[in-house]
Chain A
Amino acid sequence: MTGHVIPVISYTLMLLGVFFSLASAIGIIRFPDVYTRLHASTKSLTGGALFVLCGAALQSDSWQSAAKMILIAGFLLATNPISSHAIARACYRHGIRPEPSHVDHYAKTVEKEPPR
């Protein structure tokens, strides 16, 4: 009985992560704008990768490989928001605006900066 608990938890976590990855891919193909696609690519994809990596770490043979999977998970958790923020900032500075926008506080900040 106890031998079946850990594989069931692991496969459940991995299937949940695959579901989040599929949701993020569908969002990328269906959303209309760069910013909305970035929204789909950041949150659900980070969560999905985290779930799949935790499920894989539960199934690994030794603690070394499990530690390496947790290291990869932490690395993705740290770097994916940074790269998404860099892409969004580059899009705004390049002149792409989110189209039906009612409140735009970042425009004042960009206008106040001295031109380089």
Chain B
Amino acid sequence: MISLILGGLLFSAAIAFCRLILGPTVPDRIVAAGTLSIILTTTLVVLSIVFRNNLFLDVALAFALLAFVDILIMAKYFEHGELHR
């Protein structure tokens, strides 16, 4: 059962990665990157259930925080063309 859940999550991550490669414009790629980061955070939490290891949870928390800051900085850079304004 847990392999079915992991397979479904990785399949949706693969579809989002296809959009990240194909995306015709830049904001499409930003949206696909945000989706991919959230799906991979969820996958890390499921991996902590599989391996019975609590270290994956800390990695998932740091990954979610870094992905949030990344998406905000990418959106701001895309809006203005520079960072400080």
Contact = CB atoms under 8 A, between A and B. Distances in A.
Nearest to A46: B38
Q: What is the predominant secondary structure among interface residues of chain A facing chain B?
A: helix
Nearest to A66: B57
Interface string A84-116: 101101110110100000000000000000001
Chain B interface size, under 10 / 10 to 19 / 20 to 34 / 35 or more: 35 or more
A10 to B, nearest CB: 9
Given A49-B41, A75-B64, A79-B68, A90 B34 contact: no
Interface residues of A, number: 49
Contacts of A28: 15-16, 19, 31-32, 35
B54 A18 contact: no
Contacts, number: 138
Contacts of B25: 34, 96
B24 to A, nearest CB: 10
Contacts of A116: 85
A33 to B, nearest CB: 9
A68 B56 CA distance: 11
Interface of A: 11, 14-15, 17-19, 21-22, 24-26, 28-29, 34, 37-38, 41, 45-46, 48-49, 52-53, 56, 59-61, 64-65, 68-69, 71-72, 75-76, 79-80, 82-84, 86-87, 89-91, 93-94, 96, 116
